A and B are shown apart, each in its own frame.
Chain A
Amino acid sequence: MYKDDFVRRLENPDGDRRASRSLHIDIPLLLILVATCLGGLFVLYSASGQSMFYIKRQATFMLLGFVGMLVVAQFPVRFWERWAPVLYAIGLVSLVAVLYVGVGAKGAQRWLDLGVTRFQPSELMKVAVPMMISAYLGKRLIPPSFKHVFFTLMMILIPVFLIVNQPDLGTALLIFAAGFFVVFLAGLGKRYLVSAFVLAMAAIPSLWFFVMRDYQKQRVLTLLSPEDDKLGAGWNIIQSTTAIGSGGWSGKGWTLGTQSQLNFLPESHTDFIIAVLAEEFGLVGVLTLCFVYCLLIGRCIMIAIGSQSQFGRLLAGSISLTFFIYVFVNMSMVSGILPVVGVPLPLISYGGTSVLTLFLGFGILMAISTEPKRIRMDL
């Protein structure tokens, strides 16, 4: 018998009557996820040009994701805390490997070819980085001292640097955000926050001149004035805002969006799917989605608050905030308030990797949420 299970039994002598708890399922989270996924498939059907092919594939990935989530939830939180460094190390090694033996498309090397399937190390890092930082800070006194801040910074920046070089600025920023959230939630001192802010502002010019590639700069410029190149770089953003705006209050109706159905909208079933939803279901649809996302994030935050361990709290908090960042970045870029970066709309956009990564995160959240209660020492 595993030592912790033994401890659990000790801590809960009557046992947990609720089956969900013993199966490590968080019922509210599960219900919201199922609802979101079903709604997502519904929108995807229209966005993909009424293609059952995409629906079947996406549904398969979602089922796999659910199974994966439940499996992940069965592992105790301690397990993840212990194995976080290993996961992180694997991720780091694969990122380095990508630099040398990676495969890719459109000038970016992002994948490792494993023969059976292709594996994207940066996706793994989306979970591994916050997990590693949480594990590191979970064992330490918070707010973290300068030494620990420095080490965590290194742990964040090394993978981020590798991913920027792929190049995949979007993912790098998201991973940086995920790691940063952990440090922030751990009570990073105000001095650090202020100096980080100043540093970031100062870094923008050098980022612009030395790090960002031409196409990335172009995206920023396009955001500022999409009309300059209506048929080129500005096309996507003009068409997506047109789709959203023409949806009005109640939308044009399911599968009746002219922008999406007549292919004016690019990437309508992946990154730009929110524009399809906005066009066909109007502001009502957008508000409904926002509401569902709020419920989801709210539930995640509650799980974080209720967590028994420092590690669990930090990780759950980071996953919740990262999830929100996905939502925010995607909805902002499609509606033209952020430059276009390749961030899918979580649980709605078509894409297997994204679905699996998300469910991996929710699995950990479920594990945290169903963590057995300890007897409070301070009572």
Chain B
Amino acid sequence: MRDDAAFIDPARERRIFSSRLLISAFAVALLFTIIVWRYVDLQINRHQDFATHSDNNRVHTRPAAPARGLIYDRNGELLADNRPAYNLSIVRERTQDLALLLEDLSQLITISEEDIKRFEKRLKRRKPFEPTALKFKLTEEERSILAVNAYRLSGAEISAQLTRHYPKAELFAHVVGYVGRINDREIQRIDPVAYSGTDSIGKIGLEKHYEEQLLGLVGNEHVETNARGRVMRVLEQVDPVPGANLTMHLDSNLQKLAHEAFQGERGALVALDIKTGGVLSMVSAPSYDPNLFVSGISQKNYSKLLNSSDRPMFNRAIRGQYPPGSTIKPLFGLIGLHKQTITMDYRIEDPGYFYMEGIERPWRDHNSDRGGHGNGVDLAKAIIESCDVFFYNMGIRTGIDLLSSYGEVFGLGTLTGIDVPGERRGIMPSREWKKNARQQSWFNGDTINASIGQGFMLTTPLQLAVMSARIASKGKMIQPRLVKSINGVPLEPPKLEESISINDRYWDYIHRAMRDVVHSPRGTAKGISKGLDYEIAGKTGTAQVISINAEDEYDSSKLDKSQWDHALFVAFAPLDDPQIAVGLIVENGEHGSSVAAPIAQRVIDAYLKSKPAFNSQLVANQEEVRR
């Protein structure tokens, strides 16, 4: 019983309780109203916003990367293709603790400090929820280790991606170039939409020049993802359009042969199809493996390439500028004939040196120690035996103005306009050039130097090949081209400037002189004529790397090899119907005749023999001879 039962008034107790319960019931009703009001506000008034937000949550538009266009050589051999590679990337937003995840990952597979350093760099410029690559090209073993541990690696994902691959490795590095990761500078100028599906871009070579065509059109797909970013289903998609395939004029076999012909020497070679201007081969030796650059080259490999004294990353074929030496003699001779500063009968006496009026110091001939080329040296002999003194005379007679303006017509000192970025202009010196570049007036001594392709004159191997092709075609303004067709559609041949009109007699004279460089017993390149069943026209050249005082003799044994003369050669063949023109240089190769010419001969031979039409013609000729 209650202790104070005496005062109990049950009716009053009930009344108090009921009134309090009533207040409570009101409170309950009020609070229920608040809740309902809140849900009405969320579900009716703000429904649209939340419906949108909910869709944004789950529906993501993912770019679908187009396959980059393939690059083929003229025979359909692949020079650049795409291969699937598995990359490990991390979505920052889905990780709990990034540092911990990285540590976990590096305990499972090898992740170098460099990987992490670069990952952190990439992390800074990614978009929200975008996977950031950590490690490329996972091995099968790494992939399975990661797959097994996936449950505790929230935020890490393995993605399959097409990665550029260069099957010919170093063979075409300088021509085809390579793609690499898009860097900060490139990101400023590219269209972010077009590149939303891809993280590489053409860095150099054809990959850069034809970037627009190779890239393709990005597609997209609307996917539904769960909260961890896993794709549950594809809602809608627009397929990407693969990039255009390029077919080159290049010939892999020829390229391989030419590359190997350098036998580890530094140098460059360009071979052109005279009929089309198509580049048959473009070698810069030594080369490097472009595959190293595709997913980011390691610091170690990069400095190795960068610090090599051979400078393998330097594209000598279009960027190397060398004195052309005697290789320009046929051209200068032709100019002299055409402008009638000399005639075909013009002869000089060559004691082995040349004195310029008013200058004490003589200009030596390269064989001055053997007493020169003797009496009665005409243009043909001067080309065949490469007589410098003849050209000293001729140069003075012709004058730098004519040499320079006609030299440019043949491509010297001008850009050839080849469809690969980075070519250099070289120097075809003139009065004007010297005034601008050196703030000095032109001296006759400069003309003398220029007349044998020394002094200020510089050319690229590509320019030598173009010059040779223009001489071979009797003045057609051939332009070098790498790409033959895009997606099977042949490119319009470049519109050529009007041919140089020069008397056929002069052409034939120069062609014959160049043939005799190879085929006459006194020719400087007679060594390569052995066993030839057609005729090659050529011209050797030797370019000084250091200037030797007139009193001193050039003696290679006293010099470091890096100071030896460069060996050059220009050529075209066959003489009666020129098809291939070649220009090449072997750095510090000393003699065009013994080092450079044999390389050209092998390339020419291999190319002509690979053409069935040429072979049958050859057989027919031989039968005729037998009869």
Contact = CB atoms under 8 A, between A and B. Distances in A.
A147 B32 CA distance: 35
Given A141-B4, A290-B32, 17 more contacts: A139-B2, A140-B4, A142-B13, A184-B24, A185-B20, A242-B53, A245-B51, A249-B44, A259-B57, A259-B58, A262-B226, A286-B43, A287-B36, A304-B21, A305-B18, A377-B10, A378-B10
Given A246-B51, A283-B43, A263 B38 contact: no
Contact of A244 (B28, B43, B227): B43
Contacts of A282: 43
Contacts of B47: 245-249
B187 interface: no
Interface of B: 2-4, 7-8, 10-11, 13-14, 16-18, 20-21, 24-25, 28, 31-32, 34-36, 38-40, 42-44, 46-47, 49-51, 53-55, 57-58, 93, 224-228, 232
Minimum-distance CB pairs A-B, first 7: A245-B50, A246-B54, A187-B16, A262-B226, A263-B227, A245-B42, A246-B50
A139 B42 CA distance: 47
B33 to A, nearest CB: 10
Given A248-B43, A249-B44, A310 B13 contact: yes
Contacts of B3: 139-140
Contact of A278 (B16, B39, B49): B39
A247 B38 CA distance: 14
Contacts of A301: 21, 24-25
22 contacts: A140-B2, A141-B4, A141-B7, A142-B13, A142-B17, A143-B16, A184-B20, A185-B17, A186-B20, A239-B57, A242-B50, A245-B43, A245-B54, A259-B57, A262-B224, A263-B226, A290-B32, A310-B17, A324-B31, A331-B35, A336-B38, A378-B11
A259 B224 CA distance: 11
Interface of A: 139-143, 181, 184-187, 231, 239, 241-249, 258-259, 262-264, 278, 282-283, 286-287, 290, 294, 297, 301, 304-305, 310, 313-314, 317, 321, 324, 328, 331-332, 335-337, 377-378
B11 A283 contact: no
B10 A264 contact: no
A144 to B, nearest CB: 11
Given A305-B21, A378-B11, A249 B4 contact: no
A321 B23 CA distance: 11
Contacts of A263: 226-228
Contacts of A245: 42-43, 46-47, 49-51, 53-54
Contacts of B18: 305
A283 B42 CA distance: 9
A243 B2 CA distance: 54
Contacts of A243: 54
Given A139-B2, A242-B53, A335 B42 contact: yes
Contacts of A239: 57
Contact of B20 (A187, A241, A297): A187
Nearest to B226: A262
Contacts of B42: 241, 244-245, 278, 335
Contacts of B49: 245
Nearest to A263: B227
A283 B40 contact: yes
Nearest to A143: B16
B198 to A, nearest CB: 27
A249 B10 CA distance: 49
B43 A231 contact: no
B4 to A, nearest CB: 5
B31 A328 contact: yes
A258 to B, nearest CB: 5
Contacts of B39: 244, 278, 283, 286, 331, 335
Contacts of A332: 34-35, 38
Contacts of A294: 32
Nearest to A185: B20
Nearest to B49: A245
A248 B44 contact: yes
A281 B50 CA distance: 15
A245 B227 CA distance: 18
A283 B46 CA distance: 12
A246 to B, nearest CB: 4
A183 to B, nearest CB: 10
B13 A249 contact: no
A185 B21 contact: yes
A143 B9 CA distance: 11
Given A245-B51, A262-B225, A317 B17 contact: yes
Contact of B17 (A247, A262, A313): A313
A301 B18 CA distance: 10
Contacts of B226: 262-264
A142 to B, nearest CB: 6
A264 B225 CA distance: 10
B36 to A, nearest CB: 6
Contacts of B93: 231
Contacts of A258: 54-55, 57-58, 224
Given A245-B51, A249-B44, A185 B38 contact: no
A264 B44 contact: no
Contacts of B21: 185, 301, 304-305, 317
A239 B227 CA distance: 10
A284 to B, nearest CB: 9
Nearest to B42: A245
A375 to B, nearest CB: 12
Contacts of A331: 35, 39
Contacts of B44: 248-249, 283
A337 B46 CA distance: 15
A335 B57 contact: no
B11 A242 contact: no
A321 B29 CA distance: 11
B35 A242 contact: no
B510 to A, nearest CB: 77
Given A140-B4, A304-B21, A335-B42, A246 B53 contact: yes
Contacts of A248: 43-44, 47, 51
